[in-house]
C-alpha cells in the first residue's frame, strides 16, 4: 500500500496548474478543492458544491489527473472528487454530462444561447465579412438558404460568437423556435448517457425536434465513431425537415481526416465559410466596441497598443483588455501607457524569429520541473518522453527550424523521431480538450517570453 505526502503533492499540483490556468479560474475552481487523503493510489478531495464539482469535472479533470500521475510518478493514481458531505462523484471527464440538451428533470428545454453574443456586438471587418453575411442570411431564413452553414477558422476568432448571434436572431424573430447550442463534447456526452441509460430513442426524438441546431467545435467528433453515426442520423432528420444546422470547426471539412466521408460530404453540401485573423483596423474596432460596451474610458493610444501587440487571437485581445482594466483598478492607477506596457509584457506576441528551440526546451523543462539535459539526453523514462515530444512539437510549430535541425537539437535524434512526436502530440490535442488547452497556453507563454 502506497501513501503519499498530500500537502507536497497538492502544492506541486497547484503550482503546475497555475502555469496553464488563469488566476481568476485558479481562485474560482482549483483553490476551492480541498485534498483530504492520499492512499491506495487514490487522491480524495472535496469541493463545496455540486455545481463546482461538475465544472471542475468538465474542465479540469483530465488535466489534474495527468499532472497527478506525473507528480507521483504513478500511472495508476486516481482522483476522486466528492461534494462535501456527499458521496463520491468520480466520472471520467469525457463521460461527464454538461449543459446537456435536456436538463436533469428531462422536461425543460434549454437553448444555451448566450444573450450577449449578438450581431450588434460583433465587429465586422474583412476577415469575417463573408462569414457574417452568411450567418445573417441564415438567421433571416433558417433552414432555407444555406444548410448546413459550416464556419471554420482558428481558435478565438469569433466562430462561437457568430453562432450565438444566429441563435439570438432566430429566437428574436420567433421566441417559440427550438434553438439549441451544444458543443460536440456535450453532444457526445448526451449520446454516451443515452446509451448507458438505454434512452437512445428519447435522445433521438429530442434532438430531432430542434428547429435550429448549433454545434460547436465539430472537430472533436473525429475518431468517435458511435457519435458520428448518431450525428449523421440527427443531421439527416433535421435537414430533411428543413431545420437549420450550423456547425463550427477549427478546420475545413476536407481536412478532417478522421471524419466519416458521408459526414464530410454533407458538411460541404451547404455553405462553408472561414474566419481569418482580424486586420489591425478590425482589432482596433473590436477593442473600442468592448470599451464602449463596458463603459471604460480607454485612451486611443492604449487601444492601438493592444491591437498592435496581439494580432492573431481575439480572445487574447480581450484577455489583455481585461487584465489592463483590472490592474489599473486594483493598483488605483489610470488606464495609461505605463499600465498598458506593464501588463502587455505578459501578452506581447513576438515574431517567429524570436522563438528558439532553446527557449522552448527551457520553458517546457521549467513547467515539468526537468533539467535541460533530461530533454535532450538519451534516457526514455515515461515522465520525460511526453515533455520531450511536446517540446519537439512546439519547435516545429513555433520556429522555422527544419526537422533534422530539431532532431539535432534534441541530442542528435533522427528527423523521423520528430515527425513521430509531432503526429502523436497533434493527435492527443485533437482527442483531449484539456491537453489542447495546455498546449495553447504553452504557445502563448512561449510567444511572450
Ligand atoms: N468580430 C468580433 N467582434 C467582437 N467580438 C469578437 C469578434 N470576434 C470574436 N470576438 C470575441 O472574442 C472572443 C473569442 O471568440 P469566440 O469564442 O467566438 O472564438 P472561436 O472562434 O469560437 O474560438 P474557439 O475555436 O477557441 O472556440 C469572444 O469573447 C468573442 O465575443
pLDDT in tens, the chain (449 residues): 466 788 888 999 998 888 777 776 787 778 889 999 888 888 999 987 776 787 788 778 878 888 888 888 888 888 998 888 765 444 333 333 334 444 443 445 678 898 889 999 999 999 999 999 999 999 999 999 999 999 999 988 999 999 999 999 999 999 999 999 998 888 888 888 888 889 999 988 888 899 999 999 999 898 888 899 999 999 999 999 999 999 999 999 999 988 899 999 999 999 999 999 998 889 999 999 999 988 899 999 899 888 877 877 898 898 889 888 888 888 889 999 889 888 877 665 444 457 889 999 999 999 999 998 888 888 777 789 999 999 999 998 887 677 778 888 998 898 888 888 888 898 888 788 889 889 988 988 887 76
Query: Does residue 297 lie in a domain region?
Result: yes
Pocket test for ligand 1, best of 160, 165, 216 (most atoms within 8 A of CB): 160
Q: What is the pTM of this model?
A: 0.62
CA–centroid distance, residue 417 to ligand 1 (Å): 36
d(CA 430, CA 445): 20
State whether 126 and 262 are in the same domain: yes
State whether 153 and 44 are in the same domain: no
Pocket test for ligand 1, best of 155, 158, 181, 313 (most atoms within 8 A of CB): 158
d(CA 317, CA 306): 7
Domain boundary among 300, 315, 349: 349
Full residue range of the structural domain in which residue 302 is found: 280-349
State whether 252 and 172 are in the same domain: yes
Query: Does residue 185 lie in a domain region?
Result: yes
**Model pLDDT, residue 351:** 41
CA–centroid distance, residue 256 to ligand 1 (Å): 22
Q: With CA atoms as reference, report the closest residue to 220 among 379, 428, 60.
A: 428
**Model pLDDT, residue 189:** 87
Cell, residue 246? 450550423
Q: Domain containing 35 — which CATH number? A: 3.30.300.180
**Model pLDDT, residue 303:** 93
d(CA 205, CA 180): 14
Query: Does residue 158 lie in a domain region?
Result: yes
State whether 243 and 303 are in the same domain: no
Q: With b meaning 16 or more CB within 10 Å and e meaning fewer, what string describes 73-105? A: eeeebebebbbeeeeeeebebbebbbbbbbeee
State whether 220 and 245 are in the same domain: yes
Query: Does residue 368 lie in a domain region?
Result: yes
Dihedral sign (CA 311, 434, 45, 187): positive
State whether 311 and 262 are in the same domain: no
State whether 249 and 264 are in the same domain: yes
Q: Domain containing 334 — which CATH number? A: 1.10.8.60
Q: Domain containing 436 — which CATH number? A: 1.10.1750.10
**Model pLDDT, residue 92:** 36
State whether 292 and 254 are in the same domain: no
CA–centroid distance, residue 388 to ligand 1 (Å): 32
- For the CA of 250, the closest atom of ligand 1 is 25
Pocket test for ligand 1, best of 113, 130, 161, 248 (most atoms within 8 A of CB): 161
State whether 77 and 181 are in the same domain: no
**Model pLDDT, residue 82:** 86
Indicate the number of domains in the chain: 4
Give this complex's ipTM: 0.99
Q: With CA atoms as reference, report the closest residue to 183 among 158, 209, 214.
A: 214
DSSP 352-383: GGG--HHHHHHHHHHHHT--HHHHHSS---HH
Query: Does residue 370 lie in a domain region?
Result: yes
State whether 370 and 334 are in the same domain: no
**Model pLDDT, residue 360:** 95
Q: Domain containing 231 — which CATH number? A: 3.40.50.300
Cell, residue 347? 501578452
DSSP 289-345: HHHHHTT----HHHHHHHHHH--S-HHHHHHHHHHHHHHHHHTT--SSHHHHHHHHT
Q: Is the CB–ligand 1 distance for residue 123 below 6 Å?
A: yes
Domain boundary among 293, 319, 349: 349
Query: Does residue 111 lie in a domain region?
Result: no
CA–centroid distance, residue 376 to ligand 1 (Å): 38
CA–centroid distance, residue 170 to ligand 1 (Å): 20
Query: Does residue 113 lie in a domain region?
Result: no
**Model pLDDT, residue 444:** 82
d(CA 181, CA 174): 16
Query: Does residue 434 lie in a domain region?
Result: yes
State whether 223 and 284 are in the same domain: no
Q: Is the CB–ligand 1 distance for residue 160 below 6 Å?
A: yes
Domain boundary among 274, 307, 328: 274
**Model pLDDT, residue 88:** 45
**Model pLDDT, residue 212:** 96
Nearest CA to ligand 1 atom 15: 158
State whether 382 and 302 are in the same domain: no
CA–centroid distance, residue 155 to ligand 1 (Å): 8
Amino acid at each position: 500500500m502506497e501513501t503519499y505526502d498530500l500537502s507536497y503533492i497538492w502544492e506541486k499540483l497547484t503550482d503546475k496548474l497555475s502555469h496553464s490556468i488563469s488566476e481568476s479560474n485558479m481562485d474560482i475552481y482549483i483553490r476551492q478543492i480541498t485534498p483530504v487523503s492520499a492512499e491506495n493510489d487514490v487522491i480524495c478531495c472535496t469541493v463545496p458544491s455540486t455545481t463546482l464539482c461538475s465544472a471542475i469535472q468538465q474542465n479540469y479533470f483530465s488535466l489534474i489527473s495527468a499532472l497527478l500521475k506525473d507528480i507521483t510518478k504513478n500511472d495508476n493514481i486516481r482522483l476522486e472528487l466528492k461534494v462535501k458531505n456527499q458521496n463520491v462523484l468520480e466520472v471520467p471527464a469525457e463521460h461527464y454530462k454538461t449543459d446537456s440538451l435536456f436538463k436533469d428533470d428531462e422536461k425543460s428545454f434549454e437553448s444555451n444561447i448566450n444573450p450577449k453574443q449578438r450581431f450588434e456586438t460583433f465587429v465586422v471587418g474583412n476577415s469575417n465579412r463573408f462569414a457574417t453575411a452568411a450567418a445573417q442570411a441564415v438567421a433571416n431564413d433558417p433552414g432555407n438558404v444555406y444548410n448546413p452553414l459550416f464556419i471554420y477558422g482558428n481558435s478565438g476568432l469569433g466562430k462561437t460568437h457568430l453562432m450565438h448571434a444566429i441563435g439570438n436572431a432566430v429566437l428574436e424573430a420567433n421566441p417559440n423556435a427550438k434553438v439549441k447550442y451544444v458543443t460536440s463534447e456535450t453532444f457526445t456526452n448526451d449520446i454516451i448517457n443515452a446509451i448507458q441509460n438505454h434512452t437512445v430513442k428519447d435522445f433521438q426524438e429530442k434532438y430531432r425536434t430542434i428547429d435550429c441546431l448549433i454545434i460547436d467545435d465539430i472537430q472533436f467528433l473525429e475518431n468517435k465513431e458511435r457519435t458520428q453515426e448518431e450525428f449523421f442520423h440527427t443531421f439527416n432528420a433535421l435537414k430533411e425537415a428543413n431545420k437549420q444546422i450550423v456547425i463550427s470547426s477549427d478546420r475545413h471539412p476536407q481536412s478532417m481526416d478522421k471524419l466519416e466521408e458521408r459526414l464530410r460530404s454533407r458538411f460541404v453540401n451547404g455553405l462553408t465559410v472561414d474566419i481569418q485573423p482580424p486586420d489591425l483596423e478590425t482589432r482596433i474596432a473590436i477593442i473600442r466596441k468592448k470599451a464602449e460596451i463596458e463603459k471604460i474610458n480607454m485612451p486611443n493610444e492604449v487601444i492601438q497598443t493592444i491591437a498592435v501587440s496581439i494580432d492573431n487571437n481575439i480572445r487574447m485581445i480581450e484577455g489583455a483588455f481585461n487584465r489592463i482594466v483590472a490592474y489599473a483598478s486594483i493598483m488605483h492607477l489610470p488606464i495609461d501607457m505605463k499600465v498598458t506596457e506593464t501588463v502587455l509584457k505578459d501578452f506581447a506576441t513576438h515574431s517567429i524569429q524570436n522563438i528558439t528551440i532553446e527557449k522552448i526546451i527551457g520553458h517546457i523543462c521549467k513547467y515539468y520541473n526537468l533539467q535541460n539535459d533530461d530533454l535532450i539526453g538519451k534516457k526514455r523514462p515515461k515522465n520525460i518522453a511526453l515533455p520531450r515530444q511536446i517540446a519537439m512539437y512546439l519547435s516545429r510549430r513555433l520556429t522555422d527550424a527544419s526537422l533534422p535541425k530539431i532532431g539535432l537539437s534534441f541530442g542528435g535524434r533522427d528527423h523521423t523521431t520528430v515527425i513521430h512526436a509531432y503526429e502523436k502530440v497533434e493527435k492527443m490535442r485533437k482527442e483531449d480538450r484539456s491537453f489542447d488547452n495546455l498546449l495553447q497556453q504553452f504557445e502563448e507563454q512561449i510567444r511572450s517570453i
